[in-house]
Amino acid sequence: MEIACIIPTYNRKHLLQRTIESVYHQTYPCNEIILVDDGSTDGTSEWIKEKYPQIVFLFQKNQGVSSARNKGIKAASSKWIALLDSDDEWLPNKLEKQVKLLKSNPEYFFCHTNEFWIRNGSQLNQMKKHQKYGGDIFFQILDMCRISPSSSLFHRSILDKVGYFDEDFIVCEDYDLWIRIASEFHILSVSYTHLRAHETSLHLVCRLLLE
């Protein structure tokens, strides 16, 4: 199973090494890492080109995270897409667990995981309502977003049916896409936690706003 990791970023050079290294430390490797710089002004472009010349680097004028994700997905040659926000990090066996589950359930084309939430270096306690679900989850995610971008691994063909990220959305652009996907496809959920999601993540900010 060939996987492309898509990392959109904007002015997060100080966090990128942690994020990128978590991809390289995976027990199941990505075939390609595509980093899309959404118009950063903090020296991200120069730093990436010097430190990680092997990464596919794309630059665009600031157009938002949806545009950056879409650009990275369309540039990928791999059939499977794993999203990773530039202030999050994967635990080492995140992809391995997902790939194993997907191979055991070939009728599924989307898999997500649990996550840690980190604020100021400390883990936030999640409530029961934040529980992750698998299967036909459309009605279980209508009240709030229960899938984080950095936990997702999906076959790119599903976007041909439901569309890509809506670039008109400023926040909750991921929630919009998950609802569209869940209305057409069943979804797998890995029961173990394989992601550290930090407070500055857009999906975490969106979830806190919704609450």
Residues 6+ apart with CB under 8 A from 38: 8, 9, 10, 60, 62, 63, 64, 65, 67, 68
Name residue, tokens 């680097």.
57
Strand partners, 82: 5, 153
| pLDDT tens-place string over residues 79-113 | 999 999 998 899 899 999 999 999 999 999 999 99
55 close to 9: Cβ distance less than 8 angstroms = no
Check if the beta carbon of residue 59 is closer than 8 Å to that of residue 7: no
On whether the pTM is more than 0.95, the answer is: no
Interval 141-187: pLDDT, tens: 888 888 989 999 999 999 999 999 999 998 889 999 999 999 999 99
